[in-house]
Structure formats: structure tokens, C-alpha cells
Amino acid sequence: MTAPRVEVRGADEVARGFDTFARSLDTMTEAHRAVVAGLLPQVAARTPVSTGRLARSWGVDARPEAGTIVSAAEYAPPVEYGVPARGIMPAAMVRSTLEDSERAIVARYEDELAKLAERAGFRVVRS
């Protein structure tokens, strides 16, 4: 008995598409920047205000592998996480924004990845 023969047509094109798509993931810096920047108004709105310096200090750090909400205010971590020994409760402005925005964040990344896949030659079907 002869083993069945399988022929895949277009495998080279698919492989090239995956290579292009994988290389394009290095361009995710701008996607990370856009996603994080979209969260900053919510973080600022949730920030406790004394002078307003902390609320104005929120910014974006974006690299190919991640985007991060940052602050130049040295007291941002104690306000975010609290200092129980000093009676300071956590404000959790960053954490609560991330939790409340989870669906929007995922949707934004899905859009960005779909754009990259389309540029790599894939047909993207959205449900």
C-alpha cells in the first residue's frame, strides 16, 4: 500500500507572510504608545489631587515589547500602592484604570495586530 501524498499549495507564500508578520511585531512600539496614552486621562482623573502635580505627571514609556504608564513624581508609587505603616491607603489609580479598561485595551491590541497581519498579506476576518 502506498502512503497518501499531501501537497500544500501556497506554503511558500504563507511562510513569507508569517516571516513578515513576525518582523512587523518589532514595530509594536507605536501601538504600545497609543494604547498607554489612551489610558492616561483616566489615570489622571483617578489621581488624588493636592497640588495637581501627580495628576499632570503621568506619561508613556513605549518599547517594542511593552508600553508602561510612568510618572516623574517620586511619590507616585506610595500613592498608587499605599504605605500602610504610615496610614496611607492605596489610591490604585493605575491599577483600577487597567482593570476597568481591560476590554478596551485588548480590542485596541487586536486592531493593531490585525493591521500588521493585513500588511503582511493575511486576510483578517473579524467576528
**17 falls within a domain:** no
- Number of structural domains found in the chain: 1
Residues 53-74: tens digit of each pLDDT: 999 999 999 998 899 999 999 9
**22 falls within a domain:** no
**4 falls within a domain:** no
**12 falls within a domain:** no
**6 falls within a domain:** no
**127 falls within a domain:** no
Domain that holds residue 53: 28-119
Residues 97-116: tens digit of each pLDDT: 999 999 999 998 888 888 87
Q: How far is CA 50 from the centre of its chain?
A: 30
pTM for the complete prediction? 0.75
Whole-number Å distance between alpha carbons of 93 and 81: 9
Number of H helices, E strands in the chain: 6, 2
Q: Which residues of 61-82 are buried (b: 16+ CB within 10 A; e: fewer)?
A: ebeeeebebebebeebeebbee
